Amino acid sequence: MKVCIFGAGAIGGCMGGRMALAGLDVSLVARGPHLVSMKKDGLRLEGSGGGQTVQVTATDNPAELGPQDFVIISVKAISLSGANIGPLLGPDTAVITAMNGIPWWYNYGLESQRSARPLESVDPGGDFWRRIGPERAIGGIIGYSAKMPQPGVVRCVFGNRFDIGEPTGEMSERCLWLAELLNQSGFETRVSGTIRNEVWNKLLSTAVFNPLSALTRANLGTLANDADMRRLAKIMMREVSDVGTAAGSEFVGSIESRIDRIATLGSHKSSMLQDIEAGRPLELDAILGSICEMGRLVGVRTPSLDMILAVLKIRARHDYR
């Protein structure tokens, strides 16, 4: 099985590096100093148990790699439209999204014919939907955190899960093969028959604490332990829950218990706060705008989410660093 990690930064680099250490046929698409370092010295994986360096096949030109069995896309959501994965696609190539927010394939395979088109906030004009084809899609939910402290080095911070599932809900052979590859690489992988539930259960936290951390510059522990921020987070999380429930998904656990778990993360910074500090664009539409759009489609009002989104869009247009 040939696997390509398209967008091998922190999250993708952690996955690709572990696959390489496991002896799998994996290649990485990256760019800039990170790519130069990996090609010269290999990819160094760091974690609580120490560090290892692995030699990897890395390039910025997908045409050098040819068709793959699996393409795992781990670029930022704002870079999805420019992801040139065409040269990696064969007749049966599956495309897995390891990204934040509501995924581009979300409306594929739903009984409601609202499913006939992608969300505009995620895939404007349906460009990716048309170019790739939603029938190739396998959902992927990242259950780990990673950082890239310097080019060529990926630090796996915490967590070890990666849930996958078909948008149609079937337990397909290709999902079982992919789960086996991920498990061989050291991930705790579960094949879900309700992958949209996993999407919403992760969004319930990320769609709230990512934006709040970007606005306040506070880490997750500070936000979740502050009484005023907890009250605001609860209001936002109820809106996310209402939209997800109206869209047909189910949530596990209470809002209060989720905030309590986030409070234990201490000084950990959300991905959106890390992007602000690094001067990178924010994944606003995929993480927050998509929920507001979905709310309009299912008839659920999202006043607090709309307000936070409007403020963050202004912030994203200015450099407040």
Enumerate the active-site residues.
202
- For residue 299, the tally of other CB atoms under 10 A from its CB is 8
Q: Are 26 and 19 in contact (CB under 8 A)?
A: yes
Angle at 198 between CA 153 and CA 119, to 5 degrees: 90
C-alpha distance from residue 181 to each of 12, 15, 71, 91 (Å): 15, 11, 13, 20
Q: What is the C-alpha to C-alpha distance for residues 124 and 119, in angstroms, rounded to an integer?
A: 7
The residue type at 45? L
Helix (H, G, I), strand (E, B) or coil at 317: coil
Q: What is the C-alpha to C-alpha distance for residues 262 and 101, in angstroms, rounded to an integer?
A: 18
Give the tokens for residue 136: 């190739």
C-alpha distance from residue 303 to each of 119, 258, 292 (Å): 20, 22, 9
Q: What is the C-alpha to C-alpha distance for residues 7 and 19, in angstroms, rounded to an integer?
A: 15
Give the tokens for residue 219: 């880490």
- End-to-end Cα, the chain, rounded Å: 45
